[in-house]
């Protein structure tokens, strides 16, 4: 049973999600383009590198906001899911498939909007055309990114719902956001080791977004040498993470516990 | 067929069970369970739905343990929490649950019109009044050809005219029904139904609503007791045709027991 269109509709008509994941993040792009860019050199290569770094980190954080929304919907619907799996034709696998589809679609929509905002604002600031080199690859990465954040958020939230309670589920919902912020910015400002950049799904996504937008291969410093990060292992990395987390989500969904919504109240 | 044997539920941190020793069998029948707030009626329904893990006992539906049931759309309920799968307008929720239950959305839309609830179709559940939410849940429960309907306080916050319509709808429903209420005065509407009395987590019965006029509560263990109730206030017996207080005279079961204690 495919509920993708229902999920897509519920998420696409969520005004709060549009505000925080699109308008709020577009505001940060504006800060990056017009306030933080004073020290960027006039060379086109510098403008491209600067623009792409902002774009990659902002998309990563926007996708993590999508994850926070999904986490909240689990906490709200634990009884509905437990009931539906027993007393309707909905199966955990069907539900998860729909959620993967809906999240991937929303990841795509978020990326397209932020892509337009990035190209427009940074292009205006640097008075040059800054369109992405490989938009098709970027759209593919955003589909995978949406699915990854859905799976990460689902695994963490369901672990909390099944074993800790709704109070913990509330906090767990912020973990993808915090990790995205820390690791996305760390890649820009800190020399992270190669194994970490390949192994971290957040940095796989950032690197792929960087490459798709700028056309430049992201690099890592190894001693005195600058070594490129290959897109194949980066893509494999994010796909393995997504697949593993989808598997974990399925196991946890089959055992979902009904929690009383009032349990979520913190104070 | 619903069968509950020796059900006991103790919530984490609680010293006494919320329900205990409950035996119930419902096969091509309708039953109303009357009890005060906190007597364990909702816990019984949530246990049957699989939303609560019992501490002891077994619950089966058509011979299958409810803990192992998957994909059986034959059981439905009016509990609002189970219709929160997504944040959508009621119109979309109707179509979604019709799909999940294998029913026709037109049936539910027709019922909503019948109850003059068409204006809620474009609204989300949290935008409805408490009574509207309750009625939408009630109608979800009875639509899409259920075999067993579990109704928790279906008349709460519902106006008099719609209560009458709902009673008529429940009378005409071909499914088995287990209905919880704390309102003893409503029992007159369900004369052909079985009756259960719930007090401090214990379920007494089944009796018949038709024989309500003949049921009495008596302090202690009466020789002709139909059922014996052990409570924190002492031991009481349900008797027929004679006893200390007629059950029908009470405003609530709690008040009746307390008047005898």
For residue B66, give the chain A residue with the closest CA: A86
Q: Do B86 and A1 touch (CB under 8 A)?
A: no
The pLDDT score that the predictor gives to residue B231 is 81
Domain B2-74+147-212 - what CATH class?
alpha beta
Intervals of chain A under pLDDT 70: 222
Phi, psi angle pair for B13, to nearest 5°: 90, -10
For residues B215 and B196, the answer to whether their CB atoms sit within 8 Å is no
For residue B80, give the chain A residue with the closest CA: A80
Q: Do A6 and B96 touch (CB under 8 A)?
A: yes
What are the residue ranges spanned by the domains of chain B? Answer: 2-74+147-212, 81-145
Set of chain B residues whose Cβ sits within 8 Å of the Cβ of A4: none
Task: Please give the distance of CA A53 from its chain centroid, rounded to a whole number.
Answer: 15
The pLDDT score that the predictor gives to residue B10 is 95
The pLDDT score that the predictor gives to residue A14 is 87
The pLDDT score that the predictor gives to residue A253 is 94
Cα(B55)–Cα(B20) distance, rounded to whole angstroms? Answer: 9
Cis peptide before B206 (omega within 30 of 0): yes
What's the Cα-to-Cα distance from B61 to each of A40, A156, B28, B49, B199, rounded to whole Å? 70, 33, 13, 10, 25
Q: Which domain holds residue A32?
A: 4-264
Q: Do B76 and A87 touch (CB under 8 A)?
A: yes
For residue B148, give the chain A residue with the closest CA: A87
Please, what are the averages of pLDDT over each run of 10 residues along chain B (261 residues)?
Answer: 94 91 93 90 94 94 91 93 91 94 95 95 94 96 96 94 94 95 86 90 90 89 88 87 85 78 77
Long-range contacts formed by B202-209: CB under 8 A, 24+ apart: B202/B19, B202/B20, B202/B21, B202/B22, B202/B40, B202/B229, B202/B230, B202/B231, B203/B19, B203/B22, B203/B23, B203/B24, B203/B33, B203/B40, B203/B44, B204/B229, B204/B238, B206/B24, B206/B31, B207/B238, B209/B32
Q: Which residues of A touch B (CB under 8 A)?
A: 1, 3, 6-7, 9-10, 14, 73, 76-77, 79-91, 258, 260-261
The pLDDT score that the predictor gives to residue A235 is 94
Among B46, B72, B82, select the one facing A80 at the smallest CB separation.
Answer: B82
Cα(B166)–Cα(B171) distance, rounded to whole angstroms? Answer: 9
User: Buried b vs exposed e over A229-247: b needs ≥16 C-beta within 10 Å?
Assistant: bebeebbebbeebbeebbe
The residues that bridge with B150 in the sheet, in sequence order, are B77, B178
For residue B67, give the chain A residue with the closest CA: A86
For residues A15 and A106, the answer to whether their CB atoms sit within 8 Å is no
Cα(B194)–Cα(B27) distance, rounded to whole angstroms? Answer: 11
Q: Do B101 and A89 touch (CB under 8 A)?
A: yes
For residues A201 and A150, the answer to whether their CB atoms sit within 8 Å is no
Total of domains in chain A:
1
Cα(A39)–Cα(B205) distance, rounded to whole angstroms? Answer: 82
Q: Do A258 and B51 touch (CB under 8 A)?
A: yes
The pLDDT score that the predictor gives to residue B161 is 93
- In tens, the pLDDT along A202-224 reads 999 999 998 999 888 887 776 77
Handedness of CA A169, A171, A174, A176 (dihedral sign): negative
For residues A194 and A222, the answer to whether their CB atoms sit within 8 Å is yes
């Amino acid at each position: 049973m495919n509920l993708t269109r229902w999920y897509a509709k519920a998420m696409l008509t969520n005004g709060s999600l549009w505000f925080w994941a699109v308008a709020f993040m577009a505001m940060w792009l504006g800060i990056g383009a017009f306030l933080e860019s004073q020290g960027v050199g006039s060379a086109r290569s510098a403008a491209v590198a600067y623009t792409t770094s902002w774009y990659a980190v902002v998309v990563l954080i926007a996708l993590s906001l999508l994850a926070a929304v999904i986490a909240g919907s689990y906490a709200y619907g634990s009884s509905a899911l437990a009931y539906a799996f027993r007393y309707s034709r909905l199966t955990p696998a069907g539900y998860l498939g729909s959620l993967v589809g809906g999240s991937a679609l929303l990841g795509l929509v978020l990326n397209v909007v932020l892509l337009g905002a990035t190209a427009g604002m940074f292009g205006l600031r640097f008075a040059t055309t800054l369109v992405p080199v490989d938009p098709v690859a970027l759209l593919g990465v955003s589909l995978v990114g949406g699915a990854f954040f859905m799976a990460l958020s689902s695994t963490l939230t369901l672990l909390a719902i099944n074993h800790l309670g709704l109070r913990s589920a509330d906090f767990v919902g912020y973990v993808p956001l915090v990790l995205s912020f820390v690791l996305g910015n760390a890649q820009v400002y800190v020399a992270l080791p190669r194994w970490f950049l390949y192994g971290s799904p957040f940095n796989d996504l950032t690197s792929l977004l960087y490459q798709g937008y700028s056309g430049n291969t992201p690099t890592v410093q190894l001693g005195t040498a600058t070594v490129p990060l290959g897109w194949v292992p980066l893509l494999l990395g994010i796909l393995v993470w997504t697949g593993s987390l989808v598997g974990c989500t399925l196991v946890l969904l089959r055992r979902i516990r009904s929690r009383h919504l009032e349990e979520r109240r913190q104070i | 067929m619903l069968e509950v044997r020796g059900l006991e539920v103790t919530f984490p941190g609680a010293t006494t069970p919320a329900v205990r020793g409950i035996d119930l069998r419902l096969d091509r029948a309708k039953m109303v369970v009357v009890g005060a707030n906190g007597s364990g009626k909702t816990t019984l329904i949530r246990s049957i739905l699989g939303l609560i893990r019992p501490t002891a006992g077994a619950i089966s539906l058509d011979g299958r343990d409810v803990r192992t049931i998957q994909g059986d759309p034959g059981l439905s309920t009016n509990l609002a929490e189970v219709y929160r799968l997504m944040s959508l307008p009621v119109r979309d929720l109707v179509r979604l649950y019709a799909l999940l239950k294998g029913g026709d959305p037109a049936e539910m839309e027709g019922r909503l019109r019948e109850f003059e609830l068409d204006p809620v179709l474009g609204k989300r559940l949290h935008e409805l009044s408490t009574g509207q939410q309750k009625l939408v849940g009630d109608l979800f429960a009875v639509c899409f050809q259920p075999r067993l309907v579990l109704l928790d306080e279906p008349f709460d916050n519902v106006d008099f005219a719609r209560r009458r319509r709902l009673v008529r709808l429940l009378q005409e429903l071909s499914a088995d029904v287990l209905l919880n209420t704390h309102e003893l005065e409503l029992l007159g509407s369900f004369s052909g139904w079985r009756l259960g009395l719930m007090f401090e987590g214990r379920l007494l019965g089944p009796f018949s609503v038709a024989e309500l006029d003949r049921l009495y509560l008596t302090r202690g263990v009466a020789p002709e007791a139909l059922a014996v109730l052990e409570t924190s206030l002492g031991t009481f017996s349900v008797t027929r045709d004679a006893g200390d207080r007629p059950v029908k005279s009470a405003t609530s079961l709690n008040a009746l027991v307390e008047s005898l204690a």
